[in-house]
Amino acid sequence: MTPAQATCLSDALVIGYAILEQGGPAAIAVECTIGLLEQSGLFNAGEGANRQLDGVQRMDASIMEGAHLKAGAIASIEGILHPITAARLVMEATNHVLLAGPPATAFAQYYKLEPLSKGRALRRSAGRSPASMAVAQTMELYRAMVKSQRMEKDQHGTVGAVALDRAGTVAAGASTGGVDSMLPGRVGDSPLIGCGVYADNQSGAVSMTGIGEGIIRLVLAKTMCDRLATGASPTVAARQVLRLLVSRIKGSAGALVLSPDGRFAIRHVTPYMAAGWWNGIGSPKVRGQFS
């Protein structure tokens, strides 16, 4: 985790907590926390989202609140800085849960959501030759390699948040640009309710990060919430389910887990997971590893 990322995470926590302190809903706190991370360009979401193999950024996001089990999600959206806001609008302005592809982009544009900067949103030009595309892709790979040599390992990941508001409602959200070397159209766990996120006031809230294919196959967010519902603590629920992920399919993931009484856990089976928490006392706690 770079100093810039640590500062950004701390700022995001401050923004989210300020909303909760003023009596705002958990879902808005989650949205605004994730929104700052999306616009920073420091994480694999929004401005910093990965590109799929055809050179296009297609992003996924979801949000869920636990009082009424309302949820909204966006998959394969293009050119939008804040997919998490598009997901929240799906939850609040439609009777649907998930919009995907070009119609999802059109939906966000209808609500005049801020676009990605032009330099990041460039698509493949139909008039470019395969040879010129090969050169461009090679240069892009080179720039990425050079950049990666200046950065710590595994620091450029999916962003997510969980929150508990004064009304006792929990919420969870996630936003991502996917994984490296994605086929065009690949969708991971982040927009899939129950996989990348889940929130229920009767159990808790979970936001996942990691390799989405494994998270999907074990429906990890809902599985963790089910463990919470049976009385497991956030720490125990996260540890048990992440161990299951590793033992069954050798998966890789991390989790933010929050119970309705305010207990929480940050756990991962990856070498690193930049994350943090804050309850308004002292300064936000941000680290690159959690045991």
**Which of 201, 205, 212 is closest to 237 using CA atoms?**
205
85 is catalytic: no
Alpha helix stretches (DSSP H) within the chain: 3-21, 26-40, 83-93, 101-110, 118-121, 130-149, 212-217, 220-229, 234-249
Q: Are 174 and 61 in contact (CB under 8 A)?
A: yes
End-to-end CA distance of the chain: 16
Which helix (H) or strand (E) segment holds residue 268: the answer is strand 264-268
Angle at 74 between CA 180 and CA 7, to 5 degrees: 60
Q: Considering 33, 85, 105, 158, which one is annotated as catalytic?
A: 158
Q: Are residues 195 and 220 in contact, defined by beta-carbon separation less than 8 angstroms?
A: yes
Cα–Cα dist 84/90, whole Å: 10
Sheet holding 264-268, edge to edge: 197-200, 204-210, 253-258, 264-268
CA separation, residue 262 to residues 124, 170, 228, 277 (Å)? 46, 9, 12, 12
Q: Which residue numbers are catalytic?
A: 158
